[in-house]
Amino acid sequence: MLVRGAGVTAPAVLSAAVLHDVVEDTPASLTDVEAEFGPEVTELVDWVTKPPAAGAGRQAKRAAKAAYLRRLGEAPREAVLVKLADRVSNVQTLDRMAPDFQRRYYAETLTYIVPLAEPEPWFRAWFADWRRQFAHLQ
């Protein structure tokens, strides 16, 4: 998506795209990422890594995620590109998820991610097509 779709070739952005979930999904830390890939990749990975929820329960997790997604509006363009590519990958399988999850994820994508795609022509067009395909979830 980043290379063929959006024409991104910056090694740091592509590395961060590959590593975007490593801190959330493995024992690796940002310190580990920095030791292996340097500060530029680490900063991008940090921007797209969800912080842990402050409390227990579904409500706390949703609040933490919403705060994280709002914060992406302040992220550098390169970090936004990583997040956009991640969301494109995730929403391609949305139709295989439970109906409530589909509606929630669709609304979250429209609220937080689609605005981030506006300045990026390829992502803007991709999400416009996706939005039409899943409009029944509104």
Q: Are residues 38 and 13 in contact, defined by beta-carbon separation less than 8 angstroms?
A: no
Could you give the CA distance from residue 93 to residue 96 in angstroms, rounded to a whole number?
Answer: 6
| Burial (CB count <10 Å: 0-12, 13-18, 19+), residue 20 | buried
Neighbours of 99 (CB within 10 A): 8
Could you give the CA distance from residue 17 to residue 86 in angstroms, rounded to a whole number?
Answer: 7
Residues recorded for the chain = 138
The kind and range of the H/E element at 18 are helix 11-19
Assess whether 25 carries a catalytic annotation: yes
Q: Which of 25, 74, 100, 129 is catalytic?
A: 25
Could you give the CA distance from residue 45 to residue 125 in angstroms, rounded to a whole number?
Answer: 25
Q: Which of 24, 36, 95, 118 is catalytic?
A: 24
- The residues annotated with a catalytic role in the active site are 24-25
